[in-house]
Amino acid sequence: METAPQNSSAAAPGLSGNGEDYKYGFTTNVEMETLSKGISEDVIRAISAKKNEPPFLLEFRLKAYKKWLTMKEPNWAHVQYPAIDYQDIVYFAKPKQKPTLTGLDEVDPEILKTFEKLGIPLDEQKRLSNVAVDAVFDSVSVATTHKKKLMEHGVIFCSISEAIHEYPELIETYLGSVVPVGDNFYAALNSAVFTDGSFVYIPPNTKCPMELSTYFRINTEESGQFERTLIVCAEGSYVSYLEGCTAPKFDTNQLHAAVVELVTLDDAEIKYSTVQNWYAGDPKTGKGGIYNFVTKRGKCLGKDSKISWTQVETGSAITWKYPSCILVGEGSVGEFYSVALTNGHMQADTGTKMIHLGKNTRSSIISKGIAGDQSSNAYRGLVRIAKNATGARNFSQCDSMLVGNRSSAHTFPYIETGNSASQVEHEASTSKISEDQLFYFQSRGIPREEAISMIVNGFCKDVFNQLPMEFAVEAQKLLALKLENSVG
């Protein structure tokens, strides 16, 4: 065990000349406390001890670790990458600071600056007044804003580490209740070593007074990020939650294996939106970038409850991600709206699972995949109607758009129906931006690149419409930026 200050190789922050540059590719020089590389029972005990966790959580971690040791990395996804050496990853990296923070003024100013540079000022005065933020830097949550105001409504929004101490009964009830520790290889790994993340609890009959959001930042080169998010929405409540992510540019790959669990009780609704822009690797060589292996799942436990996932995936070298809904409560509703853009050498295998268990449950899936350059973009989705799910209905629409001639798009829909009194519809299409469409825009004075961006944004409109306003604007800009250099 060692605790060593880390010197991150500080590249010039922000943008450099080249238009293809990833503007969030800078690193922050801040003293870090890390555990040595590798995973073992000792490392897990050390993480748990460092975080001063109650015994139930250490047990949770060890159980997950034992399970993980027996599991194999999944290889069914339509992605290729060299084997990951799990002993070569730092599982705990934390900015050195006072053990407990009472206010933002105690957060390392370098970190505050980092978030400001990312467009996420944590100073409450500067924040949009209707969005509360939990900022996660490498392994730990460094700041959560607007806590007081939320508390007045009984809304709990804090880092999961804090929740483990302050609300152990909620954590013990719900942690792992949607994604069991042994659910899959990456979820098991996360359950064993997760270091921080966000926790949200909305009490009964409460509409959360503002948007909640978490901003994830990977900073350390050799660290993995294993965050854990848990959102519980009690009877008759509503919350909209946003998630954003960036990372510096490194030539090596970083592993991001998060787990997100959502639970809705009767008549509750969670709207979960993600704009993912992890570093995708060098667009020419494919070197570096984030492996985004994430398990996101929601359980509509209560009747007439609803979980809605909206994701805009524009980054990561590899994305392996299937935000899903388990529809237990009668009449509950699951939704999945996705835009996945790949370019350079990116590979994405993403989609959803809609598991209909309760009667009259409904789900809809709208997926838009855009593949440019030499990238590969796959939609993979499962709709399962269980035996008792009489009256269940699903509608899926999966559209792919190819930009250029070297990219590929794939659709893998799986449908399993165990109840004949149910209805499943699936529509799919693949299109290419045609020369005639581009010429039409150009003949009106609109340059080619802007034309492509408009056409792609039009293609994604149904999904962008689902995003909260500020996010929708950001997402459109991000897409335009990403497309700038990916067209031949």
Partner 1 sequence: MTPMLEVKSLIAHVGEGESITPILKGINLSVKAGEVHAIMGPNGSGKSTLSKVIAGHPDYSVTQGEILFNGENILSLEADERARKGVFMGFQYPVEIPGVNNAEFLRMAYNQRRKAEGKEEADPLDFEEILDAKMKELDMDAKFKERAINEGYSGGEKKRNEILQMAILDPALAILDETDSGLDVDALKIVAGGINRLRGPAKAIVLITHYQRLLDYVKPDIVHVLSGGRIVKTGGKELALEVETQGYDWLVK
Q: Give the total of residues touching partner 1 (CB under 8 A).
A: 23
22-41 positions binding partner 1, by CB under 8 A: none
- Tokens, residue 463: 């999904």
CB of 230 vs partner 1, minimal distance in Å: 36
User: Residue 81, class by beta-carbon neighbours within 10 Å (0-12 exposed, 13-18 middle, 19+ buried)?
Assistant: middle
Nearer to partner 1, 127 or 432 (CB): 432
- Which of 441, 480, 481, 484 is in the footprint of partner 1 by CB under 8 A? 441
Nearer to partner 1, 74 or 458 (CB): 458
Nearer to partner 1, 101 or 454 (CB): 454
Strands 253-256, 211-217: pairing is unpaired
Q: Contact between 435 and partner 1 (CB under 8 A)? A: yes
CB of 474 vs partner 1, minimal distance in Å: 18
- Which of 442, 470, 473, 477 is in the footprint of partner 1 by CB under 8 A? 442
Nearer to partner 1, 238 or 441 (CB): 441
Q: Contact between 430 and partner 1 (CB under 8 A)? A: no
Q: How would DSSP label each residue in 231-295?
A: EEE-TT-EEEEEEEEE----SSEEEE--EEEEEE-TT-EEEEEEEE------TTT---EEEEEEE
- Which of 71, 437, 484, 485 is in the footprint of partner 1 by CB under 8 A? 437
Nearer to partner 1, 124 or 450 (CB): 450
CB of 436 vs partner 1, minimal distance in Å: 5
Residue 352: beta bridge partners? 381
φ/ψ of residue 461, rounded to 5: -55, -45
CB of 458 vs partner 1, minimal distance in Å: 3
236 close to 272: Cβ distance less than 8 angstroms: no
What span, in angstroms and rounded, lies between the C-alpha atoms of 312 and 465? 12
- Tokens, residue 442: 């150009």
- Which of 251, 414, 434, 477 is in the footprint of partner 1 by CB under 8 A? 434
3-state class percentages of the chain: helix first, strand second, coil last, to nearest 5: 20, 35, 45
* 3-state SS assignment for residue 436: helix
CB of 172 vs partner 1, minimal distance in Å: 46
> What is the per-residue binding string for partner 1 in 382-421, x denoting contact by CB under 8 A?
----------------------------------------
Q: Where are the beta strands (DSSP E) in 27-154?
A: 32-34, 93-95, 131-137, 140-144
443-482 positions binding partner 1, by CB under 8 A: 443-448, 450, 454-455, 457-462
Nearer to partner 1, 177 or 397 (CB): 397
CA nearest to 316, candidates 353, 274, 345: 345
Q: Contact between 337 and partner 1 (CB under 8 A)? A: no
* 3-state SS assignment for residue 145: coil
CB of 488 vs partner 1, minimal distance in Å: 12
Query: Torsion angle, CA of 44/48/49/52, rounded to 10 degrees?
Result: 180
Sign of the dihedral through C-alpha 478, 483, 484, 486: positive
Please name the amino acid found at residue 82.
Answer: P
- Taking CB under 8 A as the binding criterion, the range among 96-104, 206-214, 313-321, 433-441 that sits at the site for partner 1 is 433-441
Nearer to partner 1, 16 or 437 (CB): 437
CB of 464 vs partner 1, minimal distance in Å: 10
CB of 21 vs partner 1, minimal distance in Å: 25
Q: Contact between 439 and partner 1 (CB under 8 A)? A: yes
34 close to 220: Cβ distance less than 8 angstroms: yes
CB of 440 vs partner 1, minimal distance in Å: 5
228 sits in the region (left: phi over 0; alpha: psi -120 to 50; else beta) called beta
Nearer to partner 1, 82 or 488 (CB): 488
CA nearest to 81, candidates 293, 342, 322, 354: 293
CA nearest to 37, candidates 93, 83, 2, 87: 87
- Residues of this chain that bind partner 1 (CB under 8 A): 434-437, 439-448, 450, 454-455, 457-462
